[in-house]
Amino acid sequence: MSQPPVIRNLKEFLEPVLDSGTTVLNYRSKFLTVPGDNYGSTMLALTVDIADANNEPKQLQLVAKMRPTSEEFFDIFQIDVTFVKEAAVYSQIIPAMVSLQREMQFPAEEMIDVFCRCYNTRVSLDPHSIKVDADGVMLFENLKLAGYITADRRKGFNRAVAGFILKKLSLFHAIPIAMRYLKPNTFEGNVRKHLVKIDIDAGLKEGAIERLVDVIHADIIKAGVAEEIVKKLMILIKDCRQRQANLVSDEVNQFCSILHNDLWVNNIMIRYDDSGKPSGLKLVDFQLIQLDSLVRDVLFFLLTSVSDADLESDMEQYFELYFGSLRSHLIKLRCPNTSQFSYQNFLDEINCIAPREFYHIVSMLRVVMAKKEFIPEQSEQDSDLFSDDNIVEDDYFDKLRQVVKVYSKREWI
């Protein structure tokens, strides 16, 4: 395996955000994730040796997030944009969200807690640079040492955990909605300017998108989908691609909020109590945030990351759970005109947005269901990786078939 990239000038980068008098001595690093767990960045586990103000030796366990080592993936993920977006989440967006909750006198136990601590961020050693180079890095707390774990992406979350996640997600969506109405200047100045939409496929090499669409087409056929449905789905994908390429956003209505836009198993970490029930949740990887309908996050999460054999018939229950929590949060946030947040309006929004989210969902399923043993080191990965039929098995086609059934049953195609 290749060696982890070096973090230069860690002392100057980390010391200013530590307790007064703390000195950074040295550090050791290793790769935090294995191939297949992360594509848009390089994740390192750091052990940092420090000395406190009394010169007592201590260790600080951190996670460093850096640019991907694959040059092609650097372009695909448009790191010069997405890295900066994520940094803004921690420097501007989270403080604005927490401030609004405090102003509304939320009790401590109801404050949003889905974000990990970010110690510091930089795009380069050059303070004037706007380009993310090999010295660009974000430093986070190590959530694994705090008991948070990532689920098996090929198995996903069961119903109970999925419900827990949806309730947490509803607060993440509710606060920016309330901020739009109550603090429009704060929303525009601290939040919205960082929610610029990008076409994630724009970084793919010529012909890569066509190959991806051809693979999806072949997979849908292999999944046993009827020919007339296949034709409708490919028309849907074409429409989704055109909207994405032309940066067409959803209508700004009451359901527009910060969209995580990549809410799948690997970006959700859960902590469980002694009885096995979820007791904490952290969302990670905010590289693709944008302003769009919150429905997209809900659908993408349910259809890529929930293990429910009855999902086709249970969608309504998940919708009701999420919406009930969302509306409750909006009321506590004193969001005006809560009458516009009716369940029927929410269902109408789902029916409007679901067709536009189909391509995002199915194009991600090969990533979610890929076999780790067939995924090379990140530096050797390219856009053709997920076109290889060796990386998927029957569970992928089962998942794809389930998604199509949901879309067909709910008349989203």
Indicate the pLDDT class of residue 374, thresholds 50, 70 and 90.
Answer: low
* Residue 203 pLDDT grade (very low, low, confident, very high; cuts 50, 70, 90): confident
Please indicate, yes or no, if residue 14 is contained in any of the structural domains. Answer: yes
Q: Tell whether 2 is covered by a domain.
A: no
Percent of the chain beyond pLDDT 70?
A: 93
pLDDT tens, 137-179? 999 999 999 999 999 999 999 999 999 999 999 999 999 999 9
What is the mean pLDDT of the segment spanning 300-312? 96
Exposed / middle / buried, residue 387 (Cβ in 10 Å: 0-12, 13-18, 19+) = middle
Task: Please report the pLDDT score of residue 95 as a whole number.
Answer: 97
Q: What is the structure's pLDDT at 216? A: 96
SS3 content of the chain, % helix, strand, coil (to 5): 50, 15, 35
Residue 3 lies in a domain: no
Domain encompassing residue 194: 10-409
Quick check: pTM over 0.85? yes
**Mean pLDDT over the full length of the chain:** 93
Q: For position 35, what pLDDT does the model report?
A: 54
More confident residue, 370 or 404: 404
pLDDT attached to residue 71: 65
Neighbours of 409 (CB within 10 A): 11
* Any domain includes 252: yes
- The reply to whether 293 falls in a domain is yes
Q: What is the percent of the chain with per-residue pLDDT over 90, rounded to a whole number?
A: 85
What pLDDT score was predicted for residue 204? 81
What pLDDT, on the 0 to 100 scale, is given for residue 205?
77
pLDDT band at residue 380, thresholds of 50, 70 and 90? very low
Give the model's pLDDT for residue 295. 98
pLDDT (mean) for 10-33:
95
Measure CA 184 to chain center. 25
Q: What does 164-224 look like in DSSP terms, one character per residue?
A: HHHHHHHHHHHHHHHHHHH-HHHIIIIIGGG-----GGGGSPTTHHHHHHHHHHHHHHHTT
Measured between alpha carbons, how far is 366 from 297 in angstroms, rounded to an integer?
18
The answer as to whether 65 is a domain residue is yes
Q: What is the mean pLDDT of residues 334-349?
A: 96
Q: What is the mean pLDDT of residues 312-338?
A: 97
Average of per-residue pLDDT across 245-274 = 97
- Which helix (H) or strand (E) covers residue 299, if one does? helix 295-305
Position 5 in a domain:
no
What is the per-residue pLDDT for 115?
98
Distance between CA atoms of 323 and 90, rounded to whole angstroms?
Answer: 26
Q: What is the total count of domains within the chain? A: 1
- Whether residue 4 is contained in a domain is answered as no
Task: Decide if pLDDT at 345 tops 90.
Answer: yes
